[in-house]
Amino acid sequence: MANSITAAPAVLAEAVLESIKGKLPVLSSFSSIFSALESQAGIAVQVPLIGVSTATEFGASGYATQDDATVTAATVTLKHFKVVSKFTPLNVKSYGMPMLINSFVPTAANAIAEKCLAEIGALITTANYASTTNTGAALSYAELVTAKGVLDTAKAPGPYALVLNSTYLNGLLSDSSIIAAAGLGAGVITGGKFGTLAGMNVNQWNSLPTNGESLAGFACGPDAIACAASVPLSEIPGYDSAIATDPQTGLSIQVLMGQDTSGFYNVIATLLFGASVGRATSLTKFTTA
């Protein structure tokens, strides 16, 4: 066992980030700005929406004419989320980092991922996105194609994402038209994963909220939802802190670790996250009623 905990937050942050990435693949389907810069709750971030632009011929107005979609950015207000776990000094001394990796990391990653998803899920309402189809108890392949058509008509940019709760997704796993499809059926049956369906990247969201509107899923373009994330300024005297950042997305997690006055070691995973409605016509909902 090393003599200090200085290195521990850096390793824990990397481990939490690695775990959380696997729980939030859906974030790559939205417009986002993820930063490792220190910020604070309540800060508004302008998130550029991934739009459909049309190139025009250079003319007298030069570059002054705007060519991209009507809505080009959404304002996202960051909220500060955290997970705090307490460990006795004896446990930390006896079992060290492996104990923290095996007990704190999955708990923190799951809790933070759920909180981030809840922020997004709360946006999927009729007030924010008018397009809704009552697809009943089960979703069919034909209804997916119709949803894709809705997004096509709205000129939503690709790639499209299909986000479904487990009931709908498991129903599609036994859809005869999907299973029978050449080259797709085997993968669906053995791996239980669709990959893409009707040109949309399929994501399962077990905790998708119904929002009092019987929501069971949605299909969207990346400009429908804007997300932003950052890390808070760490200001706990005597605590060691570190940040881990995903090189691909920029998503960052901060971990702080220190001993409080009660003698316990506090291990904290934290981030700033927010989500906002982007282009309202780039999302269509599926409801069970």
Partner 1 sequence: MTIEEQLQSSISIVSSLTAERDDLRLAVEKLTVGSASELEALKLDASAKDAKVSELAAALEKAVAFSADLEIKISSLEAGKVSASKEAAKIAASVGVSPVQLSPSDSQPSAEAVDVLATFLSLPVGSKERSEFYAANKAAIVKAAL
186 counts as binding partner 1 under rule CB under 8 A: no
105 counts as binding partner 1 under rule CB under 8 A: yes
The residues, ordered by sequence, that sit 6+ positions from 182 with a Cβ below 8 Å of its Cβ are none
238 counts as binding partner 1 under rule CB under 8 A: no
Query: Which helix or strand (DSSP H or E) is residue 110 part of?
Result: helix 89-121
| Residue 157 main-chain phi, psi, to 5 deg | -75, 155
Residue 162: how many CB atoms within 10 A of its CB? 27
User: Site for partner 1 (CB under 8 A): which residue of 33, 36, 138, 280?
Assistant: 36
Closest CA to 78 of 237, 252, 223, 243: 252
95 counts as binding partner 1 under rule CB under 8 A: yes
198: left (phi over 0), alpha (psi -120 to 50) or beta: left
207 counts as binding partner 1 under rule CB under 8 A: no
233 counts as binding partner 1 under rule CB under 8 A: no
| CA 175 to each of CA 169, 178, 206: distance values in angstroms, whole numbers, following the listed order | 10, 5, 19
250 counts as binding partner 1 under rule CB under 8 A: yes
Q: Are 16 and 109 in contact (CB under 8 A)?
A: yes
204 counts as binding partner 1 under rule CB under 8 A: no
213 counts as binding partner 1 under rule CB under 8 A: no
Q: Are 176 and 185 in contact (CB under 8 A)?
A: no
Q: Are 250 and 36 in contact (CB under 8 A)?
A: yes
User: Site for partner 1 (CB under 8 A): which residue of 32, 132, 230, 245?
Assistant: 245
98 counts as binding partner 1 under rule CB under 8 A: yes
- Residues in contact with partner 1, counted by CB under 8 A, come to a total of 34
Least spacing, CB of residue 155 vs partner 1, in Å: 35
User: Site for partner 1 (CB under 8 A): which residue of 75, 102, 170, 207?
Assistant: 102
271 counts as binding partner 1 under rule CB under 8 A: no
| CA 205 to each of CA 27, 70, 94, 162, 216: distance values in angstroms, whole numbers, following the listed order | 12, 30, 38, 10, 9
Least spacing, CB of residue 12 vs partner 1, in Å: 8
Helix (H, G, I), strand (E, B) or coil at 10: helix
Closer residue to partner 1, CB minimum distance, 47 or 253:
253
Q: Which residue stretch of 5-13, 167-175, 216-224, 269-277 sits at the interface with partner 1 (rule: CB under 8 A)? A: 5-13
Closer residue to partner 1, CB minimum distance, 203 or 281:
203
96 counts as binding partner 1 under rule CB under 8 A: yes
Contacts with partner 1 by CB under 8 A lie at 1-2, 5, 7-8, 10-11, 14-15, 18-19, 22-23, 36, 92, 94-102, 105-106, 242-247, 250, 252
